[in-house]
């Protein structure tokens, strides 16, 4: 434990000399210093993206490119979430959001599922979810939970409305963490 504290202090001091901090967690002295010094703070996923594309977007412009808080979202680990009508990279993105927040992703629909995230309201999984009284929401519920880093009720109109002709999979990943998501961790976390 003492060794970790020493390393954390060294990393925090090194921030003065760096331009970018790559970290998984949105806490600790290094994060706090980087935030206060307006350094670029991103995740390893962001760094891979930069390396593979040659582009350097702001990490806050994509949810999985900015570090997450170390603490889990209260009661989010009780969720077993499945998705429907999302494929390929979109499906993988949703899976990563689900697991980053501590919930369990299930590829199949069962009676144990607590939420179904749907790109549109048609299909077998959506029918089963309604029959089993499992909430069917669009992905904005998941993104809002991630951005606010708290469990939000899925029973909110903007999450359960599926306008005719709208395919939510086309709107996925267009949101970043935003100002609320990059609030500096509290002083206790910064000192850890």
Q: What local confidence, expressed as pLDDT, does residue 75 receive?
A: 92
Cβ pair 189, 28 in contact under 8 A = yes
Q: How confident is the model at residue 192 (pLDDT cuts 50, 70, 90)?
A: very low
- pLDDT above 50: residue 190: no
Q: How confident is the model at residue 116 (pLDDT cuts 50, 70, 90)?
A: very high
Q: What local confidence, expressed as pLDDT, does residue 185 receive?
A: 44
- pLDDT above 50: residue 114: yes
pTM of the model: 0.84
Which residue blocks in 78-184 are alpha helix, DSSP H? 88-100, 124-131, 140-148, 157-160, 178-181
> Domains, the chain, ranges and CATH?
2-66+177-191 (no CATH), 76-171 (3.40.50.10190)
Cβ pair 26, 190 in contact under 8 A = no
Decide which of 97 and 186 is more confident. Answer: 97
Q: What local confidence, expressed as pLDDT, does residue 180 receive?
A: 52
Q: What is the pLDDT of residues 142-179, one digit of tens each?
A: 999 999 999 999 999 999 998 888 888 777 776 777 65
Q: Which of 24-33, 99-108, 128-137 has the lowest mean pLDDT?
A: 24-33
Cβ pair 97, 126 in contact under 8 A = no
Q: What is the pLDDT of residues 65-96, one digit of tens each?
A: 999 998 889 999 999 999 999 999 999 999 99
Which residue blocks in the chain are alpha helix, DSSP H? 2-14, 29-36, 44-53, 88-100, 124-131, 140-148, 157-160, 178-181, 187-191
Decide which of 24 and 179 is more confident. Answer: 24
Q: What local confidence, expressed as pLDDT, does residue 183 receive?
A: 54
């Amino acid at each position: 434990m003492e060794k970790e504290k020493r390393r954390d202090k060294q990393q925090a001091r090194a921030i003065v000399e760096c331009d970018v901090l790559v970290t998984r967690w949105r806490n600790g002295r290094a994060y706090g210093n980087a935030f206060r010094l307006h350094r670029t703070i991103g995740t390893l996923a962001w760094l891979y993206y930069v390396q593979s594309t040659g582009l350097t977007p702001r990490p806050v412009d994509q949810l999985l490119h900015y570090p997450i808080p170390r603490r889990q979202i209260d009661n989010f680990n009780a969720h077993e979430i499945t998705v429907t009508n999302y494929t390929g990279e979109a499906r993988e993105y949703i899976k990563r959001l689900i697991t980053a927040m501590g919930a369990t992703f299930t590829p199949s629909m069962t009676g144990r599922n607590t939420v179904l995230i749907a790109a549109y309201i048609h299909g077998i999984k959506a029918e089963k979810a309604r029959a089993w009284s499992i909430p069917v929401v669009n992905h904005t519920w998941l993104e809002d939970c991630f951005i606010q880093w708290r469990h939000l009720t899925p029973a909110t109109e903007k999450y359960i409305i599926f306008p005719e002709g709208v395919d939510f999979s086309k709107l996925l990943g267009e949101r970043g963490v935003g100002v609320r998501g990059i609030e500096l961790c509290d002083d206790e976390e910064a000192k850890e």
